[in-house]
Structure 1
Amino acid sequence: MARRMSDRSKQNLHMGEGKGKDYVPYIMTPEFNSLGTTSIIKDWKTGRSIHCMSQGEAMWYYLLRWNDSNIDIREQFPLDNKITVKIADKFGIKHPQSSVHVMTTDFLVTKNDGSLHAYSVKADRNLNDRTIELLYIEREYWKYNNVPFDMLYATDADQIMVNNIRLITEFYNKDAVYDKYSYSKHLIAIKEIELDLSQTIIDKDRLDEILEEFHYE
């Protein structure tokens, strides 16, 4: 049975701290019973394990990470409890679980200019009243910190692009290349070959076309 760690234990372990390959998410998938929705993705640039709590988070991680203007993504990022409690009190919202509970944001993205952008991911726009209340606290938190905050919905994720990114980034590192098809995926993954992955299904026929275009021997 999955066992949730206490906030004190997480803080003692420095979870929610670090950047890049050294970041440790505040919530990890082993803390939840397996329902087929959580997943761990290997970041193709740093090798770090990315802990996604839903299929929507996994899809949007691929899309956000593929964008080269996003140089770091910290998932399950902890919010300062003192601030979230003040926001909840100010607007008459019940703080989740208890006044010592640490809320998190699904993704905190660092842009290539050093700025930050926070995102919350939901399955769709059908949100209940309690979820809206918690999102309000989250939004006000990032507003207080002068960080843009936006919603992302699984239903808006481009499935073709997500699947293409997932398949080609397996070969981001050249050591993973073993034949001409994996080599062509490597070239796409490192963006030596530029394709609109939202329009192109990367199947064997398309890879043959790419190999011909680049005169692969």
Structure 2
Amino acid sequence: MKEKSDINKLLEGRCRGQGVEYVAFKKANESHSIGTATAIYDPIAGRTVDVLSMNEFRFFMITRFDPKVVEIKEQMLMIPGLVAKAAAKNGFRIPTNILTTDFVVFYEDGTIKAFSVKSSKKIFDKERYKDKGKWRALVRRQKLERDYWELLGVEWSIIYGDELNVMEAANIRACLKCYNQQNVSTIDHMYRYLIAHHHVAVDLTQKIHFTKVAKENEEEIRRLYKEVTDNGTKNCIGTRQNNLLRGNHL
């Protein structure tokens, strides 16, 4: 799909909405990163999220599972006027196009943090670039983004994809597929549902044999699932009173 112009995106009202109404400034189907950009459904926010790389996907999954996170806004536009101020501060040329930040995360205590996701620290190794101009452009872009968020009083940092746990992101995605009760039909699904809602604590950084664990502990999983759903706690992310299961076994 051809990417729309910045003007058309602004006219559409991208990045203005809250919660389910939020739309990323750049959508996955408008990305040139064929095969890595993807739209994923976030059952907690109840909307589609656009990630532009596998590293962004992993960051999103791991961050989304944090019970202290209220909302995540991806591909968030940077206000041109403030970008111009940040550029002037550093003596940079003012960008002619709209810039975006990969993720802006809102926490339940009112904290806001902004994140740029890069593949690894090696991307900033000057010696890897034959064209030093590309390296300078990369560094300028990150400094501009950092100073932009500093003007807003928001903490900004770079996240490196090779430091994110691949298995953790995969496990969280598997569990969030069963976040809503209408997607729960088997004991395996019940187990994933309980993990997704933090009623069961497991080590998500290790491979979890969901079906095997569920079958071995079917009675206890059914009991706990009935308890939490009957009590109307199915949407209480962060509720930990029922952390009766530890590890990948009972």
Shared topology, TM-score over 0.5? yes
Paired residues for 1:206-217 under 5 Å? 206-211=213-218, 213-214=220-221
Is the 1:17–1:25 contact (alpha carbons within 8 Å) kept by the matching residues of 2? no
Partner of 2:211: 204
Partner of 2:114: 118
Please report the TM-score for the alignment, with normalisation by the length of structure 2. Answer: 0.79
Post-superposition offset of 1:198: 1.7
Match of 2:157 among 126, 150, 154: 150
The one-character-per-residue Cα deviations of 1:101-133 (angstroms, maximum 9, x if unpaired) are 211111111110122110110111123332121
Is the 1:122–1:152 contact (alpha carbons within 8 Å) kept by the matching residues of 2? yes
After superposing on structure 2, the runs of 4+ consecutive aligned residues of structure 1 that deviate more than 2 Å are 92-96, 199-217
User: Looking at CA atoms only, which structure, 1 or 2, has the larger radius of gyration?
Assistant: 2
Is the 1:121–1:154 contact (alpha carbons within 8 Å) kept by the matching residues of 2? yes
Post-superposition offset of 1:197: 1.1
Is 1:190 the counterpart of 2:197? The answer is yes
SS at match of 1:187: helix
SS at match of 2:140: helix
Post-superposition offset of 1:156: 0.8
SS at match of 1:15: coil
Post-superposition offset of 1:78: 0.7
Post-superposition offset of 1:210: 4.2
Partner of 1:45: 44
Post-superposition offset of 1:212: 5.4
Cα separation, 2, equivalents of 1:201 and 1:78: 37
Partner of 2:105: 109
Is 1:13 the counterpart of 2:12? The answer is yes
Post-superposition offset of 1:59: 0.6
Cα separation, 2, equivalents of 1:38 and 1:210: 38
Cα separation, 2, equivalents of 1:88 and 1:117: 21
Partner of 2:239: none
Name the aligned partner's letter for residue 64 of structure 2: R
Post-superposition offset of 1:34: 5.6
Post-superposition offset of 1:94: 3.3
Is the 1:160–1:201 contact (alpha carbons within 8 Å) kept by the matching residues of 2? no
Partner of 1:64: 63
Deviates more, 1:25-34 or 1:13-22: 25-34
For structure 1, list consecutive stretches of 5 or more residues without a partner in the other structure.
none
Post-superposition offset of 1:92: 2.4
Is the 2:62–2:169 contact (alpha carbons within 8 Å) kept by the matching residues of 1? yes
Identity of aligned residues (%): 28
Please report the TM-score for the alignment, with normalisation by the length of structure 1. Answer: 0.91
Deviates more, 1:31-40 or 1:196-205: 196-205
SS at match of 2:10: helix
Cα separation, 2, equivalents of 1:150 and 1:108: 11
Deviates more, 1:104-113 or 1:182-191: 182-191
Post-superposition offset of 1:196: 2.3
Is the 2:29–2:38 contact (alpha carbons within 8 Å) kept by the matching residues of 1? no
Deviates more, 1:182-191 or 1:31-40: 31-40
Partner of 1:174: 181
